[in-house]
Copies of this chain bind each other. A is one copy, B any other.
Amino acid sequence: MNDVIGKRRWAIAEGYIPEESHGPEPEMTSHETACILNANDEDATVQIRVYFADREPAGPYTVTVPAHRTKHVRFNDLDDPEPVPRATEYASVIESDLPIVVQHTRLDSRQAENALMTTLAYSTD
């Protein structure tokens, strides 16, 4: 059995942060998340690039995920080098110096009742 859990490159082809929300913040704010697991014994340095329909990609956004930790990165919160625009279709590529696992989740609270979706991201090495 291999000790390493995950891959170094991941892609999420779906991306969209709804502009409106209902319900208490931040829990019920419409958001999109890349959930990252780093099961390694060392911290992982993760770089996220965001792709759009009609302009050059944004980023990289750099995130550190400590050893034996998970970080649920909200695209809403990324702002360096620039915020991710709302109500805009995007996609993302996530690269790490250590193997990680990435899962994509959206909570959409534009209407009174929230909707959820999730999927494992696409991985490669």
Contacts and interface: CB of A to CB of B under 8 A. Distances in A.
Interface string A34-74: 01110100000000000111101100000000001111100
A101 B49 CA distance: 15
Contacts of A28: 110
A115 to B, nearest CB: 4
This chain: copies in complex: 4
A2 to B, nearest CB: 6
Bin chain A's interface residue count: 35 or more
A8 to B, nearest CB: 6
Interface of A: 1-2, 4-6, 8-9, 11-16, 23, 27-28, 33, 35-37, 39, 51-54, 56-57, 68-72, 87, 89-91, 93, 100-106, 108, 110-125
